[in-house]
Amino acid sequence: MYILVLNSGSSSLKYKLFSMEDERVLASGVVERIGSTGTPARVTHQKGDGDKFQKDKTVLNHQEALRIVLDLLLDAEQGVLQSLDEIGAIGHRVLHGAEYFTDSVLVDDQVLAKLEELRELGPLHMPANIMGIRACRELMPKVKQVATFDTAFHQTMPRKAFLYAVPYQLYTDYRVRRYGFHGTSHRYVTSRTAEILKRNDLKIITLHLGNGSSVAAVDSGKVLDTSMGFTPLEGLVMGTRSGDLDPAIVPFIGQKLGLSPEETDAYLNKKSGFLGVAGYSDMRDIQKMRAIEPRAEDAYQMFIHRLVKYVGAYIAVLKGLDALVFTAGIGENDWLVREDLCRELEFMGVKIDPAKNTGKRGEELIISAPDSKVTVMVIPTNEELMIARDAYRLVR
């Protein structure tokens, strides 16, 4: 069976087509700048492991973008399908499932209505996610669709971890609580860690470190706590997000800068983090500039310090630690971040092998030293594969 996985952003549509018999990627790509009036959209398509194909054209909406994707999959030169009937299901990455969805689900009218209700919990992402589902319904009405939620894996958190110390009515009436995000990534690396170490009773801290970053404390496959909260803004210092801060800062900066609540929210989400401190949002730029720009060094040290605080706290929550797992762009590729964090944790028995840590990239690695009390691992995340597996499981 072939499964098409879609990740619909506000102005983009990413896709991967899997053959589920061997979980091989047949084709992948992205349509960017959807709806842009100034510049045409950029379409990037890759057949298997072959060369990338690019073209620019005007794309007004997600339905047009999906039509382009489907045409490419059927193309005589770039395509891999003889007919769209070969697609057994479509898996969608959806930001928010709130408390309603603790697992992936087949999309029907009732599910779609619930997603519409949850728009307010993810105003930047949910409208695009829903547009992607509706576009598929229009163009491929007979193909079953599956929604996989970024929040679902974290729904095992106990009440003491997900409730905020605010009037309880905010939870009951407006669903204000910790949800956590990057759940599909945390779920994937958790399952791979259990497979590699051949144990299902592991105490694991998973570190999804990228432009957006989060930490999860996982005990025997169940999340006990995670760093992102009601929105992805809470937690670690990130590329453009502030992470944790005193809530009183929010109205203060709004007043001082003359910003509306919406503008203040955007300020903390898009102009803060590495970008706000150092002027660069990418960790690769931060690393290059640390030696010559003090603010770049500040941003880096803040990032490591916040990581140390969360990992230390989550070891206490878990009452021990079997495995520390790095994933995503920074986690998989920046050996210095891994080294600096683990050095701060040496008093807890965390030791890494420098040669293994600075070795291969893009591969699953155990980088801990033989005498380390904790297994330290690098596992490249594969959220699309998790979505494809869920879709395959549900449609069968």
**N residues, the chain:** 396
- Kindly name the residue from 22, 75, 103, 150 that is annotated as catalytic: 150
CB neighbourhood size of 13 (10 A): 26
Give which of 9, 3, 1 is closest to 33, Cα–Cα.
9
Sequence-separated (6 or more) residues with CB below 8 Å from residue 256: none
Active-site residue flag, 22: no
Sheet strand arrangement including 144-149: 52-57, 41-47, 24-32, 12-19, 2-8, 87-94, 144-149, 105-106
Q: How far apart are CA 337 and CA 303, in angstroms?
A: 9
CB 242 within 8 A of CB 273: yes
User: Looking at this protein, which amino acid is placed at residue 383?
Assistant: E
- DSSP-assigned letter for residue 257: H
CB neighbourhood size of 346 (10 A): 11
Q: How far apart are CA 14 and CA 23, in angstroms?
A: 18
CB 151 within 8 A of CB 183: yes
- For CA atoms 304, 307, 312, 313, the dihedral sign is positive
CB neighbourhood size of 252 (10 A): 12
Tokens 């790509």, residue? 29
State the maximum Cα–Cα separation within the chain, in Å, rounded to a whole number. 60
Q: What residues act catalytically?
A: 150
